[in-house]
Amino acid sequence: MPGLGLLVGALIATAAIAQEVLPFPPTPSASRAGLTMQDSTYQKRVEPRRLPDGAPNILIILMDDVGPATPSTYGGEINTPTLDRVAKAGISYNRFHSTAMCSPTRAALLTGRNHTNVGNGQIAAIANDFDGFSGVIPKSSATVAEVLKNYGYNTGAWGKWHNTPEEQITSKGPFDYWPTGYGFEYFYGFLAGEASQYEPTLTRNTSPVTDHKPKGYHLSDDIATDAIKWLREQNAYAPDKPFLMYWAPGASHGPHQVMKEWADKYKGKFDSGWDAYRERAFKNAKAKGWIPENAQLTPRPASMASWDSIPEAEKPFQRRLMEIFAGFTEHADYNAGRVIDEIERQGKLDNTLIFYIWGDNGSSSEGLNGTISEQLAQNGIPTTISQHLKALDELGGLPALGGPKTDNMYHAGWAWAGSTPYQGTKLMGSYFGGIRNPMAISWPIGIKADPTARPQFHHVIDVAPTIYELTKIKTPRVVNGFEQDPIDGVSMVYTFTDPNAKGTRTTQFFDIMASRGVYHEGWFASAPGPREPWVGGIPKGVKEWSPLTDKWELYNIDEDWSQANDLAARNPKKLEEMKALFIEESKKYKNLPIGGGLWSTALFHPEDAPAPTLTEWTFDAPITLMPESAAPKLGKVSSLVNMEVDVPKKANGVLYALAGFSGGITCYIKDGYLNYEFNLFEVQRTKLKSKEKLPQGKAMIEVESKLVDKIGGPMDVVMRVNGKVVGQTRVPAAMSLHFTSNATFDIGTDLDSPVSLDYYDQAPFAFNGSIGKTKITYLKK
């Protein structure tokens, strides 16, 4: 039997191997053979160390929607002691740049690649199918967290993420493009572009957070407290491992919300208005040496209101909005300081590399003329200040601003002032007001403190290669099995010791929704694009816009710090060279078609914005906390909601609710009457109430909503009970994009901020009967 010989041979070989590597503990037979522990060759496995000794801890702080002239550190009037602390301990950069928008900057920062090169030419909520605007960071462009984790770092992220496809933000994933899928071992924050600071929809790793928010809760406090807890656990469990922390608060993105005592610190400080603020900030920045003496203050755009043009009756509203923004911003900086305090308490601050980036873009002018509900701008809905003030009176007047009942955001004039001395604001890739953001770096054992501002032209894509150089990590060719795309950024380490070193970034392109520009060796050419972000509604003639007819400008920024002097007419040859370079860069980095980021906006094709592919949903039982981005678009498209309901005696409670107090839809029973409300961003509430109470017992409730003509236009709503019409009305204007970025859809309760004032004090106003099957269907035209 030849097979038997092979078996015997295998057994003999196995025995020989067993004698070379003694089992632990030694078996009785091994002891009888004369072997002891002292004779064994047992050796504990040692994991190879892939990092150099003393590899630094890394903390990246990324503030949101704050311009270069807001922090006191660099000449602004908002108190920023933590930014002061980092700047004084290290160095600062006064020609550091972002992309002019949230998701694009974050994707570029984390990967070291240009925003369109990693599919983030637009925010995730308005992504589309063009390669550069898909909203998906490819696995071939690994994040710095993925790389550092593989080299032995503990990694964590807190606060705003905004780099996951909208339709994938559910408890069922897929999770490949969540923070945990991009290298962060731990995540605590929100996946969308913004959140209520009092009632946010939060995620821990991949699970929704359902904890009740205590009295006095604020999101910036929460993510600082959670980060401190993580630091303490990391120090207890793995003190020998370095860490990477990405701490990105929702502040100071809209809604601007903070406790009254923080806003009151700024009472009266902005009474003179945004024009005067701009003059003061300009003077302060020069006095601090932050901008050169020959820098010029650019004029206010003709389309933006002056402070003097604001009616006196409206000025208290406009002042309070800025006071709240200032308090909100200082509060976030304070909480960043709490995280740094903990690192210092642990004795790790000397070897912690801190990047404090003051803004993922310039200050945001999306508040337009001042607003109590900032999503109006994203939905392209024009309003008047009188509408806002009237709605605000119902909510409690000026004291309600900054609280849970408003999603307020300041006048665009304040955003423009926060971008002093530059033209433009957030959403403008053409002007430094949208793309130039201060950055401070400290690393006590590696960087000597130096107050001299670094003037080298750099960009957020340069942070990742800087980290790789300092950790001695060669740019990986393969990460997690994926061959890697080239890094677009360059290291900034050469600037650490020499403020006068020649800059190594010679070219950089910018483009956000066709507001675009290109830098090359001291020159900057730009085209503002088809709209000014502080002008609400649909710009006149935008449907006929073409990038081929845009007017370009040309600046010599080595001589003209603030883009004050357009040289296009004097140097047409140079302008043509720069325009050709912009097209070259766009081809290289997937920034085509020009204006591709505009496709799914309210200006052009809101019907193509990211949304579930389903057109019909069946819920066999009530569901809660379904993200609005993945839920039926009840306020946007024609739909029919059918609900099997068992109505009790004295019926009360929410049947279903979409989104929150700042805007949404709710259907509820109060004192036995069936009610429906379409809350159009607080400024307009369309209500419908049945004439009679619902009969006790089983009932089929239907709510039919039909667009009259187009998305964003009027919508007819009909309520039926057991086939009988019990109410109907017309909503004057529906929404075109979304109600919120971060709220939810609930059946049987309203767990988010309550949509309606009618049950605000009874929230979540759970239904006291029972709900069977709920079916939601989109209606065909």
Query: Residue 375: what are its φ and ψ, rounded to 5°?
Result: -75, -5
Which pLDDT band, with edges at 50, 70 and 90, does 532 fall under?
very high
User: Does residue 540 carry a pLDDT above 80?
Assistant: yes
Q: Which residues contact 202 (CB under 8 A, 6 or more apart)?
A: 188, 189, 190, 195, 208, 209
Give how far Cα 753 sits from Cα of 401, 621, 665, Å: 16, 22, 12
For the segment 362-384, the average pLDDT, to the nearest whole number, is: 92
pLDDT exceeds cutoff 70 at 564: yes
- Main-chain dihedrals φ then ψ at residue 132, nearest 5 degrees: -80, 0
pLDDT in tens, 189-230: 999 999 999 999 999 999 999 988 999 999 999 999 999 999
CA-based nearest residue to 721, from 705, 706, 743, 699: 699
pLDDT confidence bin for 34, thresholds 50/70/90: low
DSSP state of 36: -
Question: Exposed e or buried b for every residue in 505-539, given b needs 16+ CB within 10 A?
Answer: beebbbbbbbbbbbbbeebbbbbbbbbbbbbbbbe
| Better pLDDT: 146 or 608 | 146
Q: Is the pLDDT of residue 94 over 90?
A: yes
Q: How confident is the model at residue 674 (pLDDT cuts 50, 70, 90)?
A: very high
d(CA 439, CA 73): 11
Q: How far is it, in rounded angstroms, from Cα 616 to Cα 604?
A: 26
Percent of the chain with pLDDT over 70: 95
What residues contact 538, with CB distance under 8 A and at least 6 apart?
A: 380, 602, 603
Which pLDDT does position 35 carry in this prediction? 54
CA angle 93, 98, 100 (to 5 degrees): 140
Q: Determine contact, residues 526/430, Cβ cutoff 8 Å.
A: yes
More confident residue, 4 or 695: 695
Segment (H or E) for 5 = helix 2-20
**DSSP letter string over 568-579?**
TTT-HHHHHHHH
Query: What is the tens place of the pLDDT at every residue in 322-368?
Result: 999 999 999 999 999 999 999 999 999 999 999 999 999 999 999 99
pLDDT in tens, 565-596: 999 999 999 999 999 999 999 999 999 999 99
**Model confidence band, residue 23 (pLDDT cutoffs 50, 70, 90):** very low
Work out the widest C-alpha separation in the chain, in whole angstroms: 106
Give CA–CA dist 695/645, Å, rounded: 11
Question: Contact, 653 vs 758, CB < 8 A?
Answer: no
pLDDT of residue 29: 45
DSSP 415: H
Answer yes or no: pTM beyond 0.85: yes
- Cβ contacts of residue 26 below 8 Å, gap of 6+? 35, 36, 37, 40
C-beta of residue 712 within 8 angstroms of C-beta of residue 602: yes
